[in-house]
Amino acid sequence: MSESERAAGSNGYHLAGVALLLIAAAGAHAQAPVKATPLLAKPLAGFEGKEGVMLTVDYAPGAASEAHRHDANTFVYVLEGSVVMQVEGGRPVTLTAGQTFYESPADVHTVSRNASETQPARILVFFVKDEGAPSTLPVEARGGIP
């Protein structure tokens, strides 16, 4: 068993579920998908009942996801390309490689898209959330936009 497999431990199935939820939440164009790749899920020592989850999200040119929410503190780091992010009540912000974005557990993520129609984009996402809880939910799963 590799080190990364041991690190993921029993959370391997949970990571796959996170990726499926993110992909299901993605309303990308048929030729421009959004792909989430789970990296790690680990209980957080000293924070009973909390876990950290890391994944990458790849946006094909022109790809976007539909409005969704994360029942988590969500930290985003742009690895390559350029993305447009917006939470409800906030202004859209265009981020390039090396820039960051934060969402609170109460935020509705209204815009998450590749800013380019010709170049791909990739982000690293880190969630701090309740152990076993889904990281990403469609807006309707929480009764719509509050």
Q: What is the CATH number of the domain that holds 121?
A: 2.60.120.10
**Segments forming the whole domain that contains residue 102:** 3-141
* Residue 93 resides in a domain: yes
Q: Examine residue 55 and state whether it is found in any structural domain, yes or no.
A: yes
Main-chain phi, psi angles of 127, to 5 degrees: -105, 140
Residue 135 included in any domain: yes
What is the C-alpha to C-alpha distance for residues 13 and 71, in angstroms, rounded to an integer? 19
Count the domains in the chain: 1
pLDDT in tens, 16-40: 444 444 444 444 334 448 999 999 9
Pick from 124, 70, 65, 117: which is nearest to 97 by CA?
A: 124
* pLDDT, tens digit, 9 for 90 and up, residues 59-106: 999 999 888 999 999 999 999 999 999 999 999 999 999 999 999 999
Q: Is residue 146 part of a domain?
A: no
